[in-house]
């Protein structure tokens, strides 16, 4: 990518939504959504991580509010969507349909799809289902949800973060630790808060502890906070238990549908949560995408180098003047 040396890399100032609402999805689920920036700008939809992490106000700041119509929403069971942590009718195909429902509700023809971690997973799945609705992609911390990646999260991280992994595993009795996912899923789906909340906080603390190259107590505290932890832990365990409700390797298998769409992949070299091998595999399957490896970063979007490259990507799409009209 040929980028002017003067292109912006700093986050934009805080801004408030100009519109928001609750969209009924079915008899159980209602989606929180919001729009900020320029109502007549280029539409971009932000897909949060997890699954189940929910959105946050700072995520609006990756985008120039004078140029972009910024759409952010909380996926089923996450954040301000209701009910929090609800697993019924909560699968990847449901989430793909929800994105389409929101696009139609807002009267948007095409949009840029921006997602990190699980957000990159969902972006790829949505793009494969609806490529004509995608004007571009910004993907960060790529997670292809293969069994090897799930096993790495549950067991492999102990080789890099042994203290965090030990605290995560110690919540489970020694007799059950050979299958941490099942043990956690049983506790996270228990209706008693005295059972599911300690498990949720431990899961969130573990993921937050492993998400940054440099220790970040604020990141750990955020992931371990009750609303984030419950949505994140319960939803991740649910999706991991069911193989993310998609055929194995389907994300890579369907990349061919996206190869004519502009894309930027941003990956931290030392991402422990979603190791770089997945981003590398994606780029080899999608060589037309711009691939940026940040040499001194882990997984979090808020690490300095990753944050700068994400803003740079949205600024570059401004230069490209992507057509979001049909």
Annotated active-site positions, please?
117, 271, 299
CA atoms of 316 and 109, how far apart (whole Å): 21
> What are the tokens at 213?
């190259």
> Alpha-carbon distance 127 to 130, whole Å?
5
Backbone angles phi, psi at 20, to 5 degrees: -160, 165
The answer to whether 149 and 195 are in contact (CB under 8 A) is no
Token representation of residue 315: 């600024």
CA 242, 244, 247, 249 torsion: positive or negative?
A: negative
Residue 7 CB contacts under 8 Å (≥ 6 apart), including other chains: 312, 315, 316, 319
Q: Computed from CA positions of residues 278, 57, 198, 183, in that sequence, does the dihedral angle turn out positive or negative?
A: negative
* Nearest alpha carbon to residue 43 among 101, 113, 123: 113
Tell me the pairing of strands 68-73 and 30-37.
antiparallel
Tokens of 222: 């955020």
């Amino acid at each position: 990518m040929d980028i002017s040396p003067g292109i912006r890399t700093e986050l934009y100032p805080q801004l408030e939504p100009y519109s928001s609402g609750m969209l009924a999805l079915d008899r159980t689920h209602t989606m929180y959504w919001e729009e900020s920036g320029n109502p007549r700008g280029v539409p971009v939809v932000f897909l949060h991580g997890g699954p189940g992490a929910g959105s946050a106000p700072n995520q609006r700041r990756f985008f120039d509010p004078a140029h972009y119509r910024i759409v952010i929403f909380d996926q089923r069971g996450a954040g301000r969507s209701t009910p929090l942590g609800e697993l019924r009718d909560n699968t990847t195909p449901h989430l793909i349909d929800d994105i389409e429902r929101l696009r139609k509700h807002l009267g948007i023809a095409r949009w840029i799809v921006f997602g990190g971690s699980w957000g990159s997973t969902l972006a790829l799945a949505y793009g494969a289902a609806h490529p004509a609705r995608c004007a571009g992609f910004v993907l960060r911390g790529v997670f292809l949800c293969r069994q090897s990646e799930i096993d790495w999260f549950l067991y492999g991280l102990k080789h890099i973060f042994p203290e965090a992994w030990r605290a995560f595993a110690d919540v489970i009795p020694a007799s059950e630790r050979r299958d941490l996912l099942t043990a956690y899923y049983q506790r996270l789906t228990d209706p008693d808060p005295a059972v599911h909340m300690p498990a949720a906080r431990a899961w969130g603390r573990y993921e937050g502890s492993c998400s940054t190259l440099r220790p970040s107590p604020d990141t750990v505290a955020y992931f371990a906070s009750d609303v984030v932890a419950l949505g994140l832990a319960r939803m991740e365990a649910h999706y991991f238990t069911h193989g993310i409700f998609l055929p194995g390797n389907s994300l890579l298998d369907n990349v061919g549908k996206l190869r004519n769409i502009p894309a930027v992949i941003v990956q931290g070299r030392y991402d422990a949560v979603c190791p770089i091998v997945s981003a590398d595999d994606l780029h080899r399957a999608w060589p037309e995408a711009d691939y940026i490896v940040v040499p001194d970063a882990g997984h979090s979007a808020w690490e300095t180098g990753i944050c700068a490259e994400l803003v740079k990507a949205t600024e570059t799409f401004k230069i490209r003047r992507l057509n979001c009209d049909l």
